[in-house]
Chain A
Amino acid sequence: EVQLVESGGGLVQPGGSLRLSCAASGFTVSSNYMSWVRQAPGKGLEWVSVIYSGGSTYYADSVKGRFTISRDNSKNTLYLQMNSLRAEDTAVYYCANSPTDAFDIWGQGTMVTVSS
């Protein structure tokens, strides 16, 4: 069964760091492009970052220079390193897999709260 399970969310102070993980099963994380998408409380969906099968990475302007997407093929896991966190980064963070040109499979999400 194809599945994604996120972890690593929590409460962090402004300016702090957090690393999210997304463990994949039923497929390999390097076979398709994979993304992080977030949703602030009561708001819509916002694409955050993507890593392509070849390793190229891209970011939304709102997180560029602060967030880093990566993957560990040996652990079949996707990561999002988040530095210099701000209150506006508070959201549920989802990882998603894209075997088609869409976000086909989503994890359950992990909540990140940035607050003092």
Chain B
Amino acid sequence: DIQMTQSPSSLSASVGDRVTITCRASQSISSYLNWYQQKPGKAPKLLIYAASSLQSGVPSRFSGSGSGTDFTLTISSLQPEDFATYYCQQSYSSFTFGPGTKVDIK
């Protein structure tokens, strides 16, 4: 089974900050990596699919990169509505989510 890790597990940031979240797979998953945002009490929302493709309607301040085992989600300028938990997820072999990264207000 493919295991996913994320770092950091949580971070505090200010509006306007550049934020980077890292996701690592236990084996190569090519570009079969997706990123989700989840706010309390709400369903997750797809942000990035296939490692770097921006889902329709998602602001361009979100971007994804990487391939193989190492991936990054970047928020170029953090906005108040971006405070949430972010999950990576692989779809290369079955499906596995990372443990999540909580982004809160500094």
Contact = CB atoms under 8 A, between A and B. Distances in A.
Interface of A: 35, 37, 44-47, 50, 58, 60, 94, 100-104, 106-109
A93 B45 CA distance: 15
B26 to A, nearest CB: 16
A47 B96 CA distance: 7
Given A102-B89, A103-B34, A47 B50 contact: no
Contact of B97 (A46, A58, A108): A46
A5 to B, nearest CB: 11
A62 B96 CA distance: 13
A35 to B, nearest CB: 7
B97 A45 contact: yes
Interface in B62-95: 87, 89, 91, 94-95
A94 B49 contact: no
Contact of B99 (A44, A94, A102, A108): A44
A109 B39 CA distance: 13
Interface in B36-54: 36, 38, 43-46, 49-50
13 contacts: A44-B99, A45-B36, A45-B44, A47-B97, A58-B94, A94-B43, A101-B50, A102-B46, A104-B49, A104-B55, A106-B43, A106-B44, A107-B43
